[in-house]
Amino acid sequence: MTHGAFEPLVGVDRYTEAGRLREDDLAVRTYAAELLALAAQRIGRAAVDYQRTILPPSTREQPFPPAELKAPMDAAKRCAQRYTAAADRLRNAPFPPDPKKAWKQLKGPGAARLLDFDRMLHRQAEFAASVVDGVSAPVLSELPIREADQALDELTRTLDQRIGFLSGL
């Protein structure tokens, strides 16, 4: 019998309800994390382009660029780091160690609650990525950092609630 024989190779037992629950959990978190990671890359590229095209080159008289010109690039780099940290936290979020036990407790209203958390995570990740969608070097100073921070804070709260819900099983 091969039931569960490939679990160490695949990492997920797809033949049981508990294994499919684990697979769904991974899919939800991976999708949201990829959106945030792509947004972080977009911001990072814009910051590098800003440094290359807008900041004046170093000279002996002025080895460092003026602080007011460098401020948008520094803010963008911090914003990209927050997006990357949120993506990493999503990828590394814990799942109950015993998925079979978790699945038994998730039947019915528990599964609906988990689905609500998953939908909310998807929507919030899509919104957080769309906040910084049109960022580029020429408009880096107009990067909506406050809105991006708020979107990431909401996503983090939802992830914390989801983790708390799953750890309580």
The answer, yes or no, to whether residue 15 has pLDDT greater than 70, is no
Q: If you average pLDDT over residues 127-141, what whole number do you get?
A: 92
* Sign of the alpha-carbon torsion through 102, 108, 113, 115: positive
Radius of gyration, alpha carbons of the chain? 21
- For 157, half-sphere exposure in the C-beta direction (CA atoms, 13 angstrom radius) is 7
Band of residue 4 on the pLDDT scale cut at 50, 70, 90:
very low
Cα angle at 111 between 32 and 31, to 5 degrees? 10
Band of residue 26 on the pLDDT scale cut at 50, 70, 90:
confident
0.85 surpassed by pTM = no
Residue 139, SS3 per DSSP:
helix
Q: Are 130 and 50 in contact (CB under 8 A)?
A: no
The percentage of residues in the chain with a pLDDT greater than 90, rounded to a whole number, is: 49
At 89 the pLDDT is 95
Q: Are 46 and 61 in contact (CB under 8 A)?
A: no
For the chain, the average pLDDT equals: 85
Close Cβ partners of 140 (under 8 Å, ≥ 6 residues apart):
46, 47, 50, 54, 72, 73, 76
Q: If you average pLDDT over residues 5-30, what whole number do you get?
A: 67
| Torsion angle, alpha carbons of 27, 167, 36, 70, to 10 | -160
CA distances from 55 to 17, 49, 59, 138 (A): 56, 9, 12, 11
Candidates 118, 95, 105, 121; CA nearest to 17 is 105
More confident residue, 33 or 12: 33
At 101 the pLDDT is 73
Helix extents (H) in the chain: 7-10, 17-53, 67-91, 99-106, 109-131, 145-167
